[in-house]
Amino acid sequence: MQKFDCTFSSATVEYFFDYSVEYLFAQYSERKIILLTDANVFAAHPSIFLNRPTIVIEAGEQHKNQATVDKIIEELLRLETDRNTLLVGIGGGVVTDIAGYVAGIYMRGIDVGFVPTTILAMVDASIGGKNGIDVGVYKNMIGLIRQPKFLCYDLALLQTLPNAEWINGFAEIIKHACIKSEPMFRHLVAQQLSDFQNNHQLLSDLILQNAQIKNVVVQNDEFEKGDRKLLNFGHTLGHAIENELQLPHGHAISVGMMVASRLSAKQNGFAGVADIEKVLKQYGLTVAANYDKIKAMEVLRMDKKRIGDKINFILLSYIGEAYIEPISFEHIEQAI
Amino acid sequence: MQKFDCTFSSATVEYFFDYSVEYLFAQYSERKIILLTDANVFAAHPSIFLNRPTIVIEAGEQHKNQATVDKIIEELLRLETDRNTLLVGIGGGVVTDIAGYVAGIYMRGIDVGFVPTTILAMVDASIGGKNGIDVGVYKNMIGLIRQPKFLCYDLALLQTLPNAEWINGFAEIIKHACIKSEPMFRHLVAQQLSDFQNNHQLLSDLILQNAQIKNVVVQNDEFEKGDRKLLNFGHTLGHAIENELQLPHGHAISVGMMVASRLSAKQNGFAGVADIEKVLKQYGLTVAANYDKIKAMEVLRMDKKRIGDKINFILLSYIGEAYIEPISFEHIEQAI
């Protein structure tokens, strides 16, 4: 167990790492707490929600939209949520994204905390304060950057996580290795997914290391003027195909990382394309997908990273080192 | 004309005071600008919108809701709005509230500027960064505190303002006098509405003075931990009856100010009830309304200022001096 604070330019986030969610509730016993979760997490961990006011949303990225936000707000009103209420999002990235967003706009902002229940949410989605919802095929088109009050990592919650969700989360871990840590990349090459699933310490170390990589990036650039953009490696094309193909996020960005790697090879002679393909496959991720190129280009044109007729693409110079290069839509069209 | 900057804890707002809106457009000629206005302002000032991408919403508080936000977002997507686009809200408080809110959540925040076209928006609604929408009868239940990039006061726009809207705006001016400036209260007592309507300098001085009163309050307490709450004088009950009775905002808070004044007399012997009633009437405002007390209490129970079984009420000790007192729902019920 480790407890530490992480101070961003706008706020300080309290980390409860490897603590039980019950410990967390005890810490906030004097506050009115409302829990927000999805149907899967609610069914998998009934004891957490017993006798606690809970809003349950439908599971899945397709529900990360305004209709779900409307329902949550209606429930918050019904539960007489006031400015001193603490909203706690317990779930994967969809739940923490929606919980963070709703808490940011309800009564112009109430406190929110996250209990991520997936690898993906633990190493990426729940960290850094970005929240939001999709608008049609456009991912995270609406949202805020606003830090939660705390993050609680209860690794016991991963025991019920389906294998497909483990694979999904490792895409972001591989991404962190690609852009920030060559030693972690080698560590991943040397292990198998099952090693992490069966060894608490190995897993705990990996998750903490990944949370710290993301924390440092966000601390240096909370409002994404520079370095934080590197975290979008694989995400530009990934987002463009995720909703169209109904691909899990990890697989979509895995395809996106392959495209960005090949684009890197073309732009600067990056030599690690085969290594990245190998490790993605090793962890069960998709490296190619059959998608509608015209539709993907349409979505890219509405990407938040677009500046005029170019889009900021994240490329690699070598494994562990990424940079931003504006690429014209024409060049992207050729690459995909 | 006066140009000054106003620095809040989170951002600096540029003020163009007594400048034409055309001057403003010239200042931002290098930016992609999208205008947001309502049907009334669009019809009253066609030359402003000629050949400029404009989103026109329906006029009126009843459209300050999620349905309107959905339509605006759809239009922003259609207009290929990117992160570098500047959204300019031109209108009364409903338009500036919605423009500020949409700009705050679209792509996690794009720049926004306001051109208030009503007295109420010039002295109150457009200042201080509070934005938002209503949820059913609950006013501003959803929103943000986020400063605009600039405010442009083009007093020529007031020439087409209906008389009812002048009256509406003077409610907030009288409120500022009640809580912060006894000399301004005396000034208002000595004048008539028509004096301000017919004398540019008299009006310009009054608007600037009111904008400054609000600026100073917000500068000292942007996130409403203390002094900013005083601006809610008359608003607690005002908001509770505004949507129920479909009363204009100024008349609703005028009724609210009367209730708060009488409550002040009861709690601390405040002696100015008759003076306040006189000046409200002098400027054409409603001082009593027949509303459903049970419904009003229901709405009060969901007020953002509620803490447990009490609500923070703004009371006056004397004219020009206000303070906060938590009042139980029981006492409010007796008072109304």
Tens digit of each residue's pLDDT (9 = 90 or more) over B43-96: 999 999 999 999 999 999 999 999 999 999 999 999 999 999 999 999 999 999
Identify which of A83, A144, A301 has the shortest CB distance to residue B108: A144
Whose tokens are 């500046």? That residue is A307
Q: B249: which 2 tokens?
A: 């905002």
Q: Which residue of B has its CA nearest to A71?
A: B135
The rounded mean pLDDT for chain B is 94
Inspect the interface and report whether the beta carbons of A73 and B306 lie closer than 8 Å.
no
Q: Report how far residue A141's alpha carbon sits from residue B105's, in angstroms, rounded to the nearest whole number.
A: 8
Digit-coded pLDDT (tens) for B287-330:
999 988 888 888 888 887 787 788 989 999 999 999 999 999 88
CA dihedral B247, B249, B252, B256 (to 10 degrees): 170
Per residue, what are the HEC states of chain A?
A: CEEEEEECCCCEEEEEECCCHHHHHHHCCCCCEEEEEEHHHHHHCHHHHCCCCEEEECCCHHHCCHHHHHHHHHHHHHCCCCCCCEEEEEECHHHHHHHHHHHHHECCCCEEEEEECCHHHHHHHCCCCECCEEECCEEEEECCECCCCEEEECHHHHHHCCHHHHHHHHHHHHHHHHHHCHHHHHHHHHCCHHHHHHCHHHHHHHHHHHHHHHHHHHHHCCCCCCHHHHHHCCHHHHHHHHHHHCCCHHHHHHHHHHHHHHHHHHHHCCCCHHHHHHHHHHCCCCCCCCCCHHHHHHHHHCCCCEECCEEEEEEEEECCEEEEEEEEHHHHHHHC
Digit-coded pLDDT (tens) for B138-195:
889 999 999 999 999 999 999 999 999 999 999 999 999 999 999 999 999 999 999 9
Q: Is the pLDDT of residue B129 over 90?
A: yes
Digit-coded pLDDT (tens) for A159-200:
999 999 999 999 999 999 999 999 999 999 999 999 999 999
Digit-coded pLDDT (tens) for B9-22:
778 999 999 999 99
Measured between beta carbons, the chain A residues lying within 8 angstroms of B77 are: 135, 138, 141, 302
Q: How far is B226 from chain A (nearest CA, A)?
A: 14
Cβ contacts of B130 within 8 Å, gap of 6 or more: A108, B97, B140, B143, B144, B145
Identify which of A66, A109, A304 has the shortest CB distance to residue B83: A304
DSSP 8-state code for residue B107:
T
* B-interface mutation test, from A10, A30, A69, A107, most B Cβ less than 10 A away: A107
Residue B69: exposure state from Cβ atoms within 10 A (0-12, 13-18, ≥19): buried
pLDDT of chain A along its 336 residues, tens only? 677 777 777 789 999 999 999 999 999 999 999 999 999 999 999 999 999 999 999 999 999 999 999 999 999 999 999 999 999 999 999 999 999 999 999 999 999 999 999 999 999 999 999 999 999 988 899 999 999 999 999 999 999 999 999 999 999 999 999 999 999 999 999 999 999 999 999 999 999 999 999 999 999 988 888 889 999 999 999 988 887 888 999 999 999 999 999 999 999 999 999 999 999 999 999 999 998 888 888 888 888 778 778 898 999 999 999 999 999 988 888 888
Measured between beta carbons, the chain B residues lying within 8 angstroms of A307 are: 82-84
DSSP 8-state code for residue B106:
B
Which helix (H) or strand (E) covers residue B87, if one does? strand B86-91
Residue B170: predicted pLDDT = 98
Q: Which residue of B has its CA nearest to A103?
A: B142
CB pairs under 8 A between A and B: 77
Inspect the interface and report whether the beta carbons of A130 and B108 lie closer than 8 Å.
yes
Q: Report how far residue B286's alpha carbon sits from residue A47's, in angstroms, rounded to the nearest whole number.
A: 55
Q: Which residue of A has its CA nearest to B9?
A: A10
Residue A1: predicted pLDDT = 63
Number of other CB atoms surrounding residue B51 within 10 Å: 6
Q: Report how far residue B248's alpha carbon sits from residue B172's, in angstroms, rounded to the nearest whole number.
A: 12
Inspect the interface and report whether the beta carbons of A82 and B304 lie closer than 8 Å.
yes
CA dihedral A317, A321, A327, A329 (to 10 degrees): 110
Reduce the DSSP state of residue B232 to 3 states and report it: helix
Catalytically active residues of A are 108, 130, 172, 214, 224, 228, 232, 235, 239, 249
Q: Which residue of B has its CA nearest to A31?
A: B308
Cβ contacts of A197 within 8 Å, gap of 6 or more: A166, A203
| A273 vs B: CB within 8 A | no
Q: Is the pLDDT of residue B126 over 80?
A: yes
Would you say the C-alpha torsion B118, B123, B129, B133 has a positive or negative sign? negative
Residue A170: predicted pLDDT = 98
Identify which of B106, B109, B302 has the shortest CB distance to residue A77: B302
Q: B236: which 2 tokens?
A: 């607690």
Q: Report how far residue B115's alpha carbon sits from residue B95's, in angstroms, rounded to the nearest whole number.
A: 10
Residue B254: predicted pLDDT = 97
Measured between beta carbons, the chain A residues lying within 8 angstroms of B132 are: 105, 108
Measured between beta carbons, the chain B residues lying within 8 angstroms of A100 are: none
What b/e sequence results for B112-141 when a residue is b if at least 16 CB atoms lie within 10 Å of its CB, and e otherwise? bbbbbbbbbbbbbbbbbbbbbbbbebbbbb
Angle at B325 between CA B174 and CA A30, to 5 degrees: 135
Contact B104, B146 (CB under 8 A): yes
Residue B331: exposure state from Cβ atoms within 10 A (0-12, 13-18, ≥19): middle
pTM metric for this prediction: 0.91
Q: Is the pLDDT of residue B1 over 70?
A: no
Inspect the interface and report whether the beta carbons of B145 and A302 lie closer than 8 Å.
no
The pair phi, psi for residue A215, each rounded to 5°, is -55, -45
Measured between beta carbons, the chain A residues lying within 8 angstroms of B145 are: 108-109
Measured between beta carbons, the chain B residues lying within 8 angstroms of A67 are: none
Q: Report how far residue A143's alpha carbon sits from residue A133's, in angstroms, rounded to the nearest whole number.
A: 6
Measured between beta carbons, the chain B residues lying within 8 angstroms of A304 are: 82-83, 107-108
Q: How far is A283 from chain B (nearest CA, A)?
A: 32
| A83 vs B: CB within 8 A | yes
**β-bridge mates for residue B251, sequence order:** none
* A-interface mutation test, from B32, B71, B78, B105, most A Cβ less than 10 A away: B105
The pair phi, psi for residue A245, each rounded to 5°, is -90, 0
Q: Report how far residue A266's alpha carbon sits from residue A229's, in angstroms, rounded to the nearest whole number.
A: 21
Q: How far is B168 from chain A (nearest CA, A)?
A: 25
Inspect the interface and report whether the beta carbons of B144 and A105 lie closer than 8 Å.
yes
Inspect the interface and report whether the beta carbons of B107 and A306 lie closer than 8 Å.
no
Digit-coded pLDDT (tens) for B208-229:
999 999 999 999 988 888 889 9
